[in-house]
Amino acid sequence: MKIAILPGDGIGPEIVAQAVKVLNVLGESFEMETAPVGGAGYEASGHPLPDATLKLAKEADAVLFGAVGDWKYDTLERPLRPEQAILGLRKNLGLFGNLRPAILYPELANASTLKPEIVSGLDILIVRELTGDIYFGQPRGVRECPDGPFKGQREGFDTMRYAEGEIRRIAHVAFQAAQKRDKRLTSVDKANVLETFQFWKDIVTDVHKEYPDVALDHMYVDNAAMQLVRAPKKFDVIVTGNMFGDILSDAAAMLTGSIGMLPSASLDANNKGLYEPSHGSAPDIAGKGIANPLATILSAAMMLRYSLNKQEQANRIENAVKKVLAQGLRTVDIYEEGTTKVGTEEMGNAVVKALA
């Protein structure tokens, strides 16, 4: 089994190194190959997603991704900026199904900005469509405004769109995920305003017929943003489009106060996937050895579960992470009095030790 390792920028290389260390002690024989991506890709060959990196990602059975982005690339024109790499990988690999759990570990209940009774035991899963919507819709650009009171001025424009098949396949992913959990799915739309999401709602409702054991409800995106703040534990699985999912999954992650703990998976139709922490490249703390590697290590666990079909190894890693938390080890982002502050590498080593 071949794993493409794409560390990226900022803290990416540090945290990915810990996940690789963990993968190496599982007693499996993975072939791992590393390639530059994001700013590192740009430095290496003038493009955030170098051809060789894309080729490696395509050939591999799974991709372990760190994070991309650094302020120093902010002045590049858009197609050359680091985040284009992640958009390019999603599109080229057909990674339409993004799974983003928002889990609050009991040991970290204090990390949340929300009251403990609102978030303790939080365990929700956001299923975000990742290759459609306004992220990729054409046409888009800046043009002369064709009509209305601003006719003749410049205007920026984009196209939101979802085809029936795109909605069906992500709905199947979400219903099946709900079947393995509490069997409740909330489809988030803006059907009261957008044609795309009235269509979305209709198709999700239709797919529901195949999953009578799952309870489906529909919620407008503005209300969903409110309910995530008001009573997040009422959700089980949320499914939504690319744009709304971008916003809601980040809000949900932040509810836990410990985004340094949250992994993610982006899957294609055959369960090949890209795995990355939900947090970003944090250039401000890069190279200091203090970043939390657990989201990346847990992303490696998701990779074992979804793409490499090694459920037991996935469980082993997840249990090892729980163990180090129970031991009181904390990187600075989740540190509180009475616990033991450790660096990136110590944390990685602790997980390795807990695996033994």
Longest distance between any two alpha carbons in the chain, whole Å: 69
Structure tokens at 33: 């190959």
* CB 73, min distance to ligand IPM, A: 12
Q: Binding of a copy of itself at residue 44 (CB under 8 A)?
A: no
- Based on the residue annotation, tell me whether 202 is a catalytic residue of this protein: no
What would the two tokens of residue 201 be? 């709602």
Q: What is the radius of gyration, based on Cα positions, of the chain?
A: 20
Residue 165 contacts which entry, a copy of itself, ligand IPM, none (Cβ below 5-8 A, type-dependent): a copy of itself
Shortest CB 349 distance to a copy of itself, Å: 29
Q: Which stretch in 79-87, 206-214, 224-232, 255-263 sits in contact with ligand IPM by CB under 6 A?
A: 79-87
Q: Which of 61, 158, 246, 268 is catalytic?
A: 246
How many residues does this entry show for the chain?
Answer: 356
Tell me if 251 sits within 8 A of 225, measured CB to CB: yes
CA distance 237 to 99: 10
Residues 169-198 close enough to bind ligand IPM by CB under 6 A? 192-193
For the packed helices 83-93 and 51-59, what is the interaxial angle rounded to 10 degrees? 40
Q: Verify binding: residue 83, ligand IPM, rule CB under 6 A.
A: yes
Which of ligand IPM, a copy of itself, none is residue 78 near (CB under 5 to 8 Å by kind)?
a copy of itself
201 is catalytic: no
Residues 205-244 close enough to bind ligand IPM by CB under 6 A: 222
> Interface with ligand IPM includes 155 (CB under 6 A)?
no
145 sits near a copy of itself (criterion: CB under 8 A) = yes
Q: Select from 19, 114, 207, 308 the one that contacts a copy of itself (CB under 8 A).
A: 114
Which pair of tokens denotes residue 81? 């900026």
81 binds a copy of itself (CB under 8 A): yes
Task: Extract the tokens encoding 266.
Answer: 């982006």
Strands 31-34 and 263-267: unpaired
Alpha-carbon distance 173 to 97, whole Å?
7
Query: In whole angstroms, what is the distance from residue 16 CA to residue 348 CA?
Result: 10
DSSP secondary-structure letter at 214?
Answer: S
Of the residues 51, 202, 206, 222, only one is catalytic, namely: 222
Residue 285 assigned as binding residue? yes
- Site residues for a copy of itself, 255-314, by CB under 8 A, read 255, 257, 259
- The answer to whether 157 and 140 have CB atoms below 8 angstroms apart is yes
Total residues contacting ligand IPM by CB under 6 A comes to 7
164 binds a copy of itself (CB under 8 A): yes
- From ligand IPM, a copy of itself, none, interface partner of 75 (C-beta below 5 to 8 A by class): none
The yes or no reply on residue 86 touching ligand IPM (CB under 6 A) is yes
Q: What angle do CA 230, 130, 3 make, to 5 degrees?
A: 115
Residue 15 interacts with which of ligand IPM, a copy of itself, none, CB < 5 to 8 Å by class: none
Q: Is 269 in the site for ligand IPM (CB under 6 A)?
A: no
Q: Which stretch binds a copy of itself (CB under 8 A): 26-34, 46-54, 175-183, 220-228?
A: 220-228
195 contributes a contact to a copy of itself by CB under 8 A? yes
Is residue 158 involved in binding ligand IPM (CB under 6 A)? no
Q: Which tokens in the block code for residue 292? A: 């939390």
**Whole-angstrom distance, CA of residue 170 vs CA of residue 191:** 18
Active site residue 246: yes
Three-state secondary structure call for residue 265: strand
Contact residues for 169 (Cβ-Cβ < 8 A; gap 6+): 96, 97, 269
Cβ 89 to a copy of itself shortest distance, Å: 14
Tokens of 94: 């057909």
Give phi and psi for 193, each to the nearest 5: -125, -40
Annotated binding site for Mg(2+): 222, 246, 250
Report, as residue numbers or ranges, the catalytic residues. Answer: 135, 190, 222, 246, 250
Q: Where on the chain is the footprint of ligand IPM (CB under 6 A)? A: 83, 86-87, 192-193, 222, 246
